[in-house]
Chains A and B, each alone.
Chain A
Amino acid sequence: MWPNERVVRFVNENFLAARVHPRQTPEAFKLYSERYKAPWTPTILLLDHDGVEHHRIEGFLPVDDFLAQLMLGRARIAFDAQQWAEAERRFHEIADTLPETDAAAEALYWAGVAPYKATGDPASLKATGRAFKGRYQNSPWAKKASVWT
C-alpha cells in the first residue's frame, strides 16, 4: 500500500510522516506504542499538529480502502478543529471518489453533519438521511442516519 502513487501523493500533501519499528527503532517503538496504546502492527495514527490522535488504521488494507481511511482521518482532523467547510469537502471527496470503500458510508454521514455544525440548519442531515436510502443500507452509518429522515 505504501508504494502506491496515490497514497504517496496524499500523504506527502497532507502529513508529516514518522515511522517506528519494533526491531529497527525499539526504544521509540516502545515509547510511542505505549503513549498511543498501539501495540499492533501495522497501525497508523493520524495526529493533529499538537500530537492528538484523531484516527487510526489497524491492520492491512487494499489500496483504495487504505487511501480512503487516510482521507477520512484527514477529514476528521479538520472536523475536530471545527473547520466545517474543509471537513465537508474532504468527506464528500471520499464518498464521491472512493464510493466502494468501507470508509465511504462513514464519510457520507459526516459530510452531512459538517454543514449542520456550521449553520445549525438540519437540511443537510435530512438530505444525508435520504441519500442513505439508496446507498450503504447495510452499513451502521445508514442506521445512524435513519433518524434524520
Chain B
Amino acid sequence: MKIDFRQDVDRVLQDAKAQQQPVLLDFNAAPM
C-alpha cells in the first residue's frame, strides 16, 4: 500500500474542488 503522490498540482487542486476533498501538498527533497 502506498500514497499516490501526483506531480500535477494544478490538476490535483482542480480535482479537490470537484470532489470536495482536502489536499496534502508535500514539499520533499528526498530521492524520489
Contact status A17-B5, CB under 8 Å: yes
Q: How far is the CA of A23 from the CA of B2 in the complex (A)?
A: 22
Encoded as 1 (CB less than 8 Å from any A CB) or 0, chain B from 6 to 32 comes to 111100110111011111111111101
Contact status B1-A41, CB under 8 Å: no
A116 close to B (CB within 8 Å): no
**Which B residues are in CB contact (< 8 Å) with A45?**
23-25, 27
Q: How far is the CA of A2 from the CA of B4 in the complex (A)?
A: 11
- Number of B residues near A (Cβ < 8 Å) is 27
A16-B16, A17-B5, A20-B9 in contact; A77/B29 too (CB < 8 A)? no
Contact status B24-A51, CB under 8 Å: no
**Which residue of the partner chain, among B2, B24, B28, B29, contacts A16 with CB atoms under 8 Å?**
B24
**Nearest chain A CB to B32's CB is how many angstroms away?**
5
Q: How far is the CA of A47 from the CA of B13 in the complex (A)?
A: 9
* Chain A residue at smallest Cβ distance from B32: A24
Q: List 28 A-B contacts (CB under 8 A).
A: A11-B3, A12-B1, A12-B4, A15-B21, A15-B24, A16-B6, A16-B15, A17-B5, A19-B6, A19-B25, A19-B27, A19-B32, A20-B7, A20-B27, A20-B28, A21-B29, A28-B7, A36-B25, A44-B25, A46-B25, A47-B13, A47-B23, A48-B22, A48-B23, A49-B20, A50-B17, A51-B23, A70-B24
B residues near A, CB below 8 A?
A: 1-9, 12-13, 15-17, 19-30, 32
Which 4 residue pairs across A and B have the least CB separation, nearest first?
A: A15-B24, A19-B5, A41-B29, A18-B12
A residues near B, CB below 8 A?
A: 2-3, 5, 8-9, 11-12, 14-25, 28-29, 32-33, 36, 38, 40-51, 70, 74, 77
